[in-house]
Amino acid sequence: MSASEFLENLDVITSLDVALVRRIAHLDMDAFYASVELLRYPQLKGLPVVIGGSRRREDSYWERLVKLDPLKDWKSAPLSEYPLEVFPRLKDYVGRGVITTATYAARHFGIGSAMGLMKAAALCPEAILLPVDFEEYRKYSRLFKSIITEIAPVMEDRGVDEVYIDFTQTPGGQRQGGLVLARLIQKSIFQATQLTCSIGVAPNKLLAKMASEFNKPNGIAILYEHEIAAKIWPLPCRKINGIGPKTDEKLKNLGISLIGQLALFDPSELIAHFGQNYGRWLIEAANGRDKSGVVTHSEPVSLSRETTFERDLHVTTDKERLTPIFTKLCEQVSNDLQRKGYLGRTVGIKLKYDNFKTVTRDQTIEFPTNDSKEIRKFAGELLKRVDLSKKIRLLGVRMGSLIKLEDWSVAQLSNTSDSEVGLNRELF
């Protein structure tokens, strides 16, 4: 029976004349990038594998493969036949790249996302290092999200590997607190992709995200409001999405380590230390209160591209290398704008120096654009407003104040007189 047939035949509680209980799910794909790579290289299952560094190249292993077996046609061989000896090890990596994700076998060594590859090499030198392949990850991301929306259409896209889903009025979403629907979604994704996910279902988004971590990987956790004290309060404050390391350190200085301690802390003292808005939010979050809705569509605030260099570069000595990189970033931003159908009116640049200090500069232009040459021109002008005497480790270009291309076209047409329209017809 298909998912749609199952739901059609389900005796759904939403059809009854009762008040619906708000049920929100957070779905997180398990070690997503690494799991996609294991579909390509099943021989690496169970091994510590790290994804990071440069982008994937199809011919990256051929030279080593030929040395292993010169007579075999490796270009026609399936990737699953690549021997383990051909894959690079973390111990051989030299550079400043960071980990995108790692398999659970690698995480047992203390390796995690955003960790430097050199630091990870010290923890697990024999871990296999695979380059990223964003095109492949985006393909699987679109696939698993399309499966979700066929079953539960109210979905908020939160990135390549996670979503929020409103179960409240979805058939099956009230059964066993959402367990029935969560199982169906989890099973459907696995059948279509062979990828696993973890799902947390709770009264709101904040609690659902926390619950999705309870039974990883390939788990489901159902959390009810009356269980907050028992299941949420014993957790460290950092488990709340929105509490970072700096806030956590300040809370510890106040004697607050656990969410339960935060929930019962004097609100006036929190406000005194963190300000009116953030202080009140800390209390609300610790008590499991969150009124934010599942947003099915939102316009991007900005589009940007940036790159971190393998070694620090200087404008004077490395100009021949920096110039094409800068131009390419502008072209990538332009392509992103055109592909998504946007124009931008604020051009921005971002530089991170060798001392890790970051600077940004922005400029609002008269007319919005998505043209790469225009973006390059204005971004180049912004470079004159920053200190270029220091070495650079990161360079980025951004376009903000976005407007839909069709909205701008309509606005321009409405501001054009009849005589101008007639003139335009003659010109074209």
Catalytic residue positions, numbered: 162
Mapping DSSP onto H, E and C, the string for 250-318 reads HHHHCCCCEHHHHHCCCHHHHHHHHCHHHHHHHHHHHCCCCCCCCCCCCCCCEEEEEEEEEEEECCCCC
Q: Rounded CA gap, 294 and 15, in Å?
A: 22
Q: What is the token pair recorded at 337?
A: 């704008």
